[in-house]
Structure 1
Amino acid sequence: MRQLLFICCFFTAISTYAQSVPNPGFEFWNTSSVDNPTDYPLNSNQMANILGLPFNCNKIADPQQGALAMQLNTVSNANDTLIGYFFNGDPNTLTGGIPYSGHPITLTGYYKNNQMPGDTGILLIVFKEGGTAISFDFAIFTGTHTAYTPFTVVLTIPPFANPDSIIFGAASSNGFNTNGMPGSMLQFDNITFMGANSQPANMNGSFENWITTNTSTPQDWATAGGFTFQTTDVHSGTYALSLSTFAYDLQNFSPSYASNGTMIGNNLGGGRPYTLLNDTLCGWYKFTAMGIDSGIAFVQTSLATSPVGMAFQILPPNSAYTYFSIPFSSFTQPDTLLVVIASSSNNTTLSNVGSVLKIDDLYLKSSQVGITELSWNIFGMVKLYPNPSNVECWIEFDNTKNAPVVMTITDGLGKVISEISVEETGHQRQHIDTSVLNKGCYLVTLTQNGKRTCRPLLVD
């Protein structure tokens, strides 16, 4: 079975950032939307999102009649070519489809197209009875037609058959014969069965009905795999990152990824400006495994695009958020830091489909200096200072909810060192005695009514 690993290309502009993890708590997200044709659950927009390609199954205000039409495009990037398609059932396994007991003679409609040389568009109609295909008809589209052109497909349903369902759809390139040629376009409108008493109830052959689907991506992170989600199952704050391992089909599987750089094939690149020789990436994760599986977090430093340091951490199954850390070193001063997170480790199989990795509260130990502030959490402007500390420090926050705030200090292994409950409301300034703590990295967590925010504390 072919495993699809690091298949997608991430494009993240490098600008001037502090030496820290961008959007470390995954609190900030960009939301985009796409319109999908109603009654055609199998369409190429989902795969376009997975591969980082433009949506290519689109509504267009260029109808033959009505207000809208369907346009399919074959698109590509440096690694992948994706045919535009829509189907109401699976054209490969001939499963699914929509109910229809009519016995039409022909299928008619209108199309425009611009097929690249050597490429053809295709339209497919399969009638089924009792789950078995009883007719298989198609139309091929070639050349270029800039004006709507009528077409007719003569159907070959056996005379004495009693069809009960159909699979119908089309593609901008003939995926049965080729991988498609980028630039091919096929557009449809007003598709109708002729010679029958009725049309299928869920045909949407005029392509007037569409449903809007929203997708979210974390700011300052590139994602691939399509199964990357914003989740409210958090370690602290409001949101965390959720990555799921998925299957293209029964032979091809892939983790979902998040990265602050680029990944092309198995080659890693890009990232954020960074110049330290030694550091540690820390964070919190939960992992639900399907089969024998684990998540993975990977760190690479580079100089002028050449790797100078590398480290990774396998993230085994854990039902509760668990602390992890990845020490890393460079043999010479780097200029870039790349972080990659994946929902499965390198030996992904079909049994791993559905594994889910959740990540929250990433940070570099080197970045936890000075006064740490968070302005977006429920406790207002949180200040932890001085940080690093070797005698004492203070944490300031606001309690506006008329409910206790639990302040917990944990060490790098997740062991609770101390815990107090702050009952008073209003602005709080709590003392932390760091003279009794061993040198190292600790986490100060504020919890109220199930909501949490946390900041690392470095004791030197």
Structure 2
Amino acid sequence: MNKLFTFIAITCFAMYASAQTSIPNGGFEDWTSSSIEYPSYYINNSNIEASMKGFPSNLVKSTDAYHGIYAVQLTSVVANDMFGYLYNSPSQSDPDQWTGGAPIVGTPTGIRGYYKYNVASGDTATVIVSCRKNGNSIGMYLFNMGGNVSNYTLFDFEFQPALMEAPDSIVVAFASSDVMNERFLDGSTLLIDSISLTGLVTQPNFFNGDFEEWTTETMYSPDRSETIYCKQCYQQEVS
């Protein structure tokens, strides 16, 4: 009987080893590449996430601009469980823990820009501003804007309470839906352009608030044609 169990175990191991050696692209020699675009310096964005998940881009370089040539278009896609977003920080943590951002001189008093939005009710676009100094948050501000806005309209948000000291960097984020409440509607689309910080003599370097500078990045993923499953082997007593 023990010999029978040993034979079954060896056979199952051989089947498992065979399955392991037949995994498609097991040596990771075959790769697929795709290109995405996003506004320069906004290195965390939904196009990178969409590419990693195999979905189409939902952050678009739009020529429907308020000023200049380009604007940013962000769209929520419920089927892909994704909203459009971008922000100029490498961090993927909560906003009060963001790092990096654009270096800044002076004390901003608010943020303004122009937008279009296409949802009359049930969803709102989100703007988040995190002001930082010496690696710590000294002020974080959350704003929403919504409605069926078919023509470019000014938004002009004031930082309340006002900053008590000048930050050394600032992180700005935009999203097509009400992300802080984890709520979004399919097709919610936000266009933004000509973003600036109020209360400053000059806008920060590497801020790109007019969205005229764009970065093209090539994403790579290993090819795979199928998933191999190894069935669990069960010992059976044979009389």
Asked if Structure 1 and Structure 2 have the same fold, meaning a TM-score greater than 0.5 normalized by the shorter chain, the answer is yes
Distance in 2 of aligned mates of 1:44 and 1:103:
30
| Kept in 2: contact 1:54–1:75 (CA 8 A) | no
Distance in 2 of aligned mates of 1:165 and 1:72:
25
- For residues 307-365 of structure 1, the C-alpha deviation after alignment (integer angstroms, 9 at most, x for no partner) is xxx648xxxxxxxxxxxxxxxxxxxxxxxxxxxxxxxxxxxxxxxxxxxxxxxxxxxxx
Secondary structure at 1:96 match in 2: coil
Distance in 2 of aligned mates of 1:149 and 1:159:
26
How big is the shift at 1:156? 3.4
Q: Which amino acid aligns with 1:81?
A: D
Q: Does 1:97 pair with 2:97?
A: no
| Kept in 1: contact 2:123–2:183 (CA 8 A) | no
Secondary structure at 1:50 match in 2: helix
Q: Does 1:210 pair with 2:214?
A: yes
How big is the shift at 1:27? 7.1
How big is the shift at 1:192? 1.0
Q: Which of 63, 73, 76 pairs up with 2:75?
A: 73
- For residues 278-309 of structure 1, the C-alpha deviation after alignment (integer angstroms, 9 at most, x for no partner) is xxxxxxxxxxxxxxxxxxx624xxxxxxxxxx
Question: Larger relative contact order (C-alpha < 8 A, sep ≥ 6)?
Answer: 2
| Structure 1 partner of 2:190 | 186
- Higher CA-based Rg: 1
| Structure 1 partner of 2:66 | 64
Percent pairwise identity: 34
> Which runs of structure 2 are paired with 1:90-239 in the superposition (5 Å)?
90=91, 92=94, 93-115=97-119, 117-156=121-160, 158=162, 160-216=164-220, 228-229=221-222
Distance in 2 of aligned mates of 1:43 and 1:55:
10
> Per residue, is there more helix in 1 or in 2?
2
Q: Which of 298, 316, 320 pairs up with 2:228?
A: 298
| Kept in 2: contact 1:116–1:181 (CA 8 A) | no
How big is the shift at 1:28? 6.6
Give the gaps of 5 or more residues in structure 1.
Answer: 1-19, 217-227, 230-240, 242-257, 261-296, 300-309, 313-460
| Structure 2 partner of 1:42 | 44
| Kept in 2: contact 1:115–1:121 (CA 8 A) | no
How big is the shift at 1:41? 0.9
- Give the number of equivalent residue pairs: 207
Give the gaps of 5 or more residues in structure 2.
Answer: 1-21, 233-239
| Kept in 1: contact 2:109–2:162 (CA 8 A) | no
Secondary structure at 1:95 match in 2: coil
> Per residue, is there more strand in 1 or in 2?
1
How big is the shift at 1:215? 3.0
Distance in 2 of aligned mates of 1:132 and 1:27:
43
| Kept in 2: contact 1:116–1:184 (CA 8 A) | no
Q: Which amino acid aligns with 2:36?
A: V
How big is the shift at 1:175? 1.2
Cα root mean square deviation, aligned: 2.7
- For residues 188-247 of structure 1, the C-alpha deviation after alignment (integer angstroms, 9 at most, x for no partner) is 00011222111110111000111111235xxxxxxxxxxx24xxxxxxxxxxx5xxxxxx
Distance in 2 of aligned mates of 1:26 and 1:99:
40
| Structure 2 partner of 1:86 | 86
Shift of the 159–123 alpha-carbon distance from structure 1 to 2, 3 Å rule, reads closer
Secondary structure at 1:176 match in 2: helix
**TM-score for both structures, normalised by structure 2:** 0.76
- For residues 259-287 of structure 1, the C-alpha deviation after alignment (integer angstroms, 9 at most, x for no partner) is 43xxxxxxxxxxxxxxxxxxxxxxxxxxx
